[in-house]
Amino acid sequence: MNTEITSIGSAGYALSQEQRNRVLRNTYWLLALSLLPTVLGAWLGVATGITASLRGGLGLIVFLGGAFGFMYAIEKTKNSAAGVAVLLGFTFFMGLMLSRMIGMVLGFANGSELIMTAFAGTAGVFFVMASLATVIKRDLSGMGKWLFVGALVLMVGAVINVFVGSSAGMMAVSVAAIGIFSAYMLYDLKQIIDGGETNYISATLALYLDLFNVFQSLLALLGIMGGERD
């Protein structure tokens, strides 16, 4: 029976298959919807140049302040309809923050191709991780603490490189980010499938951040390694 409560793996989650499927379905729909404000924010940022002055420490402060402020608000409103609106506002903000890098990549002769390649690569990573999450039977909840530590170390490295401005450092951070957030994607998807995450707004936020970081890191790598000047 769909409504039968089952114990999932060693984590001991107790959600029916129907409930888990509903969370996963709503997460996918909201994740797809969240891409629209992101694209709008990125387009607006490129078209107006509103984020062009956000360099170095100032850009870092605006980004971290805005991102953590939105994430706090999402956490507070995730159990109400307002949570969806706040999440979509967050994705618009993230699109704005991404626009500076997109504008720089578009400055290359092959900029549009690099952006499409990064998008296709991110979609490919998501497809692979989603497929793995459905076939892996092992409980992956223990990955969480290691991935969190890895993300913290990565953040420290990224902050340092903002002030150092090293291309080699940017490449190292980008490669590490692709690996860490691809693994995070698998972890977050498995949490939803196994019933460890029961709120689709929180689930969408986690997967959105995974996708955003993989895309941004791929774009940075492609820009550094494959950008062609006119």
Per DSSP, what are the bridge partners of residue 162?
none
Asked whether residue 1 is assigned to any structural domain, the reply reads no
Asked whether residue 30 is assigned to any structural domain, the reply reads yes
Asked whether residue 111 is assigned to any structural domain, the reply reads yes
pTM confidence score: 0.87
Q: CB-based burial of residue 21 (10 Å sphere; 0-12 exposed, 13-18 middle, 19+ buried)?
A: middle
pLDDT value at residue 2: 36
DSSP-assigned letters across all residues of 109-174:
TTHHHHHHHHHHHHHHHHHHHHHHHHH--S--TTHHHHHHHHHHHHHHHHHHHHHH--HHHHHHHH
Closest CA to 90 of 80, 106, 105, 78: 78
Tens-place pLDDT, residues 81-140? 899 999 999 999 999 999 988 988 988 888 899 999 999 999 999 999 999 999 988 888
Asked whether residue 5 is assigned to any structural domain, the reply reads no
Assign 31 to helix, strand or coil: helix
Per-residue confidence at 14, pLDDT binned at 50, 70, 90? low
Q: Which two tokens stand for residue 103?
A: 């504008």
Task: Show the domain range for 94.
Answer: 12-226
Assign 81 to helix, strand or coil: coil
What is the distance between the alpha carbons of residues 76 and 67, in angstroms, rounded to a whole number? Answer: 14
What number of other Cβ atoms are within 10 A of residue 167's Cβ?
11
Phi-psi region of 229 (alpha: psi -120 to 50; beta: other; left: phi over 0): beta
Measured between its terminal Cα atoms, the distance across the chain in Å is: 63
Q: What is the DSSP letter of 78?
A: T
pLDDT value at residue 230: 62
Asked whether residue 7 is assigned to any structural domain, the reply reads no
Give phi and psi for 7, each to the nearest 5: -95, 125
* Number of domains forming the structure of the chain: 1
Tens-place pLDDT, residues 148-184? 999 999 988 888 887 877 788 888 999 999 999 999 9
